[in-house]
Amino acid sequence: MVYLFIGEDSLSKDAQLKKIKEQFLAKGLEQFNLDILYAKETTLKGLQESFLCLPSRGSKRIIVIKQIEDLAKDTRGFILDYIKKPNPQIVLVLDAFRQDKRDGFLNTLIRFAKVFRFREGILADTFTLSRQIGLGRPDFALRVLNQLLKNGERPERILGGLRYAWERDVGPAAQMQKKLKLLVNCDMEIKTGRLKASFALEKLVICLCGPLKPSG
């Protein structure tokens, strides 16, 4: 009753978690029997309290802990003790971004859990973002952008990285001017608060992936 997800493909992880929920949670009781916790915000006391809650109406209880690389030492110790004798009423899902073979905590989890490995995510940097935009692939470009933001990359650094990548491009000057105009508009929307940074960047990516209108 312990599952370990390893990998960066969040969409596939969500799909697998959905299957687990469908298998173990009674319909209509999902909100009562599902806890999704984030390692950085999880204390030992809070986690212990979550494990003490009983599932409703004979269903099982699912506890998901995301980004387990960030778990505190005492919380890791509690989990390692728990997985050796898990509660049959609880399904524990542990989510790791990647496997570090030097991490004794993760290596122990692999011995006791059912492991699902997911593919590595596409490289999240502004050069990859620029390349996907150049290929006219908004779906992949938005995935890269979303991962950059999740990784804590600042919007101004994303815009600066795109500008730098374009300056190395040998494409038509007119196309470059159109791109830079859209980039400046996005920067202004963020700085003036007209749009949230994430929305402004998504709008920029979608515009760049489509046919560029002539500059006005």
Residue 172 is predicted with a pLDDT of 76
pLDDT at 31 over 80: no
Decide if pLDDT at 3 tops 60: yes
- Please choose, from the candidates 66, 78, 63, the residue with its C-alpha nearest in 3D space to the C-alpha of residue 2: 63
**What pLDDT sits at residue 64?**
95
**Please, which residues bridge with residue 91 across strands?**
62
Between 27 and 88, where is the model more confident?
88
Max CA separation in the chain (angstroms): 68
- The residue with tokens 């101004």 is 156
Q: Which residues pair with 53 in a beta bridge?
A: none
Domains of the chain: 2-117 (3.40.50.300), 126-209 (1.20.272)
**Residue tagged 């995301």 (tokens):** 66
DSSP β-bridge partners for residue 29:
none
Are 80 and 71 contacting, i.e. CB atoms less than 8 angstroms apart?
Answer: no
